[in-house]
Homo-oligomer: A and B are copies of this chain.
């Protein structure tokens, strides 16, 4: 069992964000101590692993909430969940491809401006020598 602080350290999410995610339905049914303090289980950490994975690949909080809600509903939602994940996977692949395409342009620009910079600094030096 882990306190919210423990889980914050383990996941890199702040305690505020963990509570927010819970409120938004990303994670549900976190146990509490007698006094009302959250007690996360290893299963909760596992779920948070998936949540972070989806979040870090650009899925919206709302869509993650939907996915986790389906998970809670059990096996009859397996088809919908697989469809969601497949679509998301295609999105991620497309996004990576797009980024790689843009990266080429950024690289080209870096080289272009580096060349210009060299020429400019050479020019400055020549001017200095005179």
Contacts and interface: CB of A to CB of B under 8 A. Distances in A.
Nearest to A49: B105
Contacts of A105: 53
A124 B121 CA distance: 74
A interface: dominant SS: helix
Interface residues of A, number: 33
A92 to B, nearest CB: 5
A117 B88 CA distance: 18
B57 A85 contact: no
Given A82-B114, A114-B82, A120-B78, A99 B109 contact: no
A82 B110 CA distance: 6
A113 B96 contact: no
Interface string A54-82: 10110000000000000000010011011
Interface in A84-130: 85-86, 88-89, 92-93, 95-96, 98-100, 102-103, 105-107, 109-110, 113-114, 116-117, 120
Contacts of A54: 106
